[in-house]
Amino acid sequence: MIILGIDPGIATTGYGIIEQDRNGIKLIDYGCIKTEAKNDFSERLKKIHQELKKIIKNCKPSAVAVEDIFFAKNSKTAIKVAEARGVILLTVIQLDIPLYEFTPLQVKQGLTNYGQAPKRQLQKMVAKFLNLDKIPQPDDAADALAIAICASRIIKNNYAR
């Protein structure tokens, strides 16, 4: 089973692709979709949609997991991220791929067993789960991998029942 994790953003959308089988999980790929602030907002959303479709076409995921928005320190930023997230969700839904959504608290709980774990601890767990020597960079990609790993654990537990 191939799982695509996505950490939504308007400037940077992180993605992480893992494969889960009966022996565990392994890293396939990770990276970021970047948009330029100088471009019109609609063009930035369009780029996220187009790039995500390419990633999905290439990796053919069995499931996609997307992080939910949980903060609103800056409401203008939160709204833009929410709009990017909407484009991501629509892209996945249109391609008829099973979709999972997790809050940051659920992702932290799923990987560290502590919902208030610091970001660095979460990133270390990503490296540990994937048997990597170092934490994947940039942070948005590491977060997307954490989301994919969280989904893999939920899916595995649901199939085990």
- Angle, CA 49 vertex, CA 44 and CA 55 arms, to 5°: 125
Q: Smallest Cα–Cα separation from 102: which of 118, 87, 85, 90?
A: 85
H helix intervals, the chain: 41-59, 75-94, 104-112, 119-129, 139-160
Q: So which residues are the catalytic ones?
A: 7, 67, 140
- Cα separation, 158 vs 145, in Å, equals 20
Q: Is 130 helix (H, G, I), strand (E, B) or coil?
A: coil
